[in-house]
Amino acid sequence: MADWQQIARKHCEEQKKKIPLDWLLDNEKLEQLRGTGSAQEGHLIDLQAAKNSGILDSNEIDITENYTARELVQNIRLGALSAERVATAYCKRAAVAQQLTSCLTEIFFEDGIQRARWLDKQLRETGKVIGPLHGLPISLKDSLHVDGHFASVGYVAFLKQDRPKGNAALVKLLLDAGAVLYCKTNVPQTMMTCDSENNIFGRTLNPHNTKLTAGGSSGGEGALVAFRGSPLGIGSDLAGSVRIPAFCCGVYGFKPTVDRIPFAGQSLSPWPMNWMSAVMPALGPLTNSADDLSLLMEVVTKLNPWKYDGSAIDLSWRTLVEPRSKPLTIGILPEDPEYTLHPPIRRSLDEAASALEEAGHKVVHLATDAKRSAALGARISYQYFSISAPAVTDFGEPFVASVAKGMHPFSTGDFPVDPKLDIPSQFSGLNMARAAYAQSWSQIWQEHDLDIVLAPGASCTAVPHDTFGLPVYTVMWSLIDFPAAVIPFGTASATRDSEPQKAITDFVPDYIPEATDGAPCAVQIIAPRFRDEECLEAVGIIDKILNARH
């Protein structure tokens, strides 16, 4: 056995010990919960795997399935629920999720439950909550530093390093707000593919259908939140790494304007930092309700994030006038001819546009224009990424399949700036190209007096493992730092969308109706830079139309 394999095996053995013995499921039970051999094999949510596991009692099922994050905070504050009971319920459900989907990396359930117990004591003795998130369990992407816990980000070599000492800026803020932290979640090797697989923790599976990708790079968060093992998760998004797992797993996700959430204190993929001033990552929430996206943003931005991270922007959450006095003006992003949409995605977008128009909102079908196409935005981004791309082989471990197949954004060609130029000249050319791209989008916003743009989140739904391709419909907005959210809407249907579709490029998967039948569909909502509040206001309005809830 190779050295890297021994290190990875030992770490996973230690990880499993962090799950209480009476929360572990034997192989026979796991096969039953997976529906092995049945027509629904791998459809863990439809099979009600958490409920049927026997690990959670009926009250714990109720807590994890019937409350939003905001409702949990309210009920804990009022004493209707205890923080300890809520934390225990989510730790149990996360333990079941881990055994079925491999969504977790670092597990610290005991610490989380002890903190929840302390929070209950503080509330009893003082009558006051610690902060606006008092008692709320929150899961974290593996990259975020939590004192005393590894942040390996999918690299075996990182397990040879010391455990981080101290907490990431956002972790500190969340603790000050009263949150309960209890686990970290899985990511892909390089953190730059849409399949969350690495040589330590293996592959994260999609709880809607374990034969399909959970997305990446925040795929562990997507799977855990979809399984309702977390009421609110924190991911990071550079090319779509919050939004892609959100729509693959049928949950809500939001990439805010860069640095509205403090970013400092993370382990990042071993990547030269000289390009990071060009396309920057942002931390953002994944949730099971649209309102909980706003909850996280409201709390974080109102708690002076600049005090936790000197790079964070001092811009508190703006309260918009309620109710909105006029309909939204919504631009519909045209399908890019180079990255054609799979039929379920095209249908979902068309149905969403029709529903919004019927509800009284103004829908503007934007013209195709090469100056602001998804393909151009992707090419500019990918050339930034391609300069001094990381070499995984330097760490003595093999590529996982998605990296080996080139399903990451530093592998494509046809760049907008001559790649033979020296690096400073390439950056200069790319910066000019990005500025022109941003200006083109700004002009279209002004021309049509748009509030938001409605777009696909990707060419496809979740697809079979290692076939996702490149995230052109998300990275185009990251390039110009526009806030963007994903709303789940509808599902793929082998009956309604029965015609297979052959991809015209290597970086988009084929459409195979039977393979993705029942997979979640979604739409993406985009607003201009620093219009995060308007973006999430629109998300709330649109979600109520598309996903009417009782």
Catalytic position from the list 92, 139, 141, 172? 141
User: Which two three-digit tokens encode residue 311?
Assistant: 């790079």
CB 120 within 8 Å of CB 126: no
DSSP string for 100-141: HH--EEEE-HHHHHHHHHHHHHHHHHHS--SSTTTT-EEEEE
Q: What angle do CA 474, 476, 481 make, to 5 degrees?
A: 95
Q: Report the SS3 class of residue 203.
A: strand
Q: What gap in Å lies between CA 198 and CA 218, rounded to an integer?
A: 13
Report cis status (omega within 30 of 0) of the bond before 311: no
Please count the other Cβ atoms lying within 10 Å of the Cβ belonging to residue 404: 12
Q: Look up 241 and say whether it is catalytic.
A: yes
DSSP string for 428-467: HHHHHHHHHHHHHHHHHHHHHT-SEEEE-SSSSSS-BTT-
CB 284 within 8 Å of CB 260: no
Distances from the Cα of 340 to the Cαs of 59, 365, 458, 514, 520, in angstroms? 46, 17, 10, 19, 18
Q: Which stretch of DSSP H or E encloses residue 532?
A: helix 532-546
Distances from the Cα of 130 to the Cαs of 72, 115, 462, in angstroms? 15, 12, 39
Catalytic position from the list 82, 217, 267, 440? 217
Catalytic position from the list 139, 152, 241, 269? 241
Q: Which residues are known catalytic residues?
A: 141, 217, 241
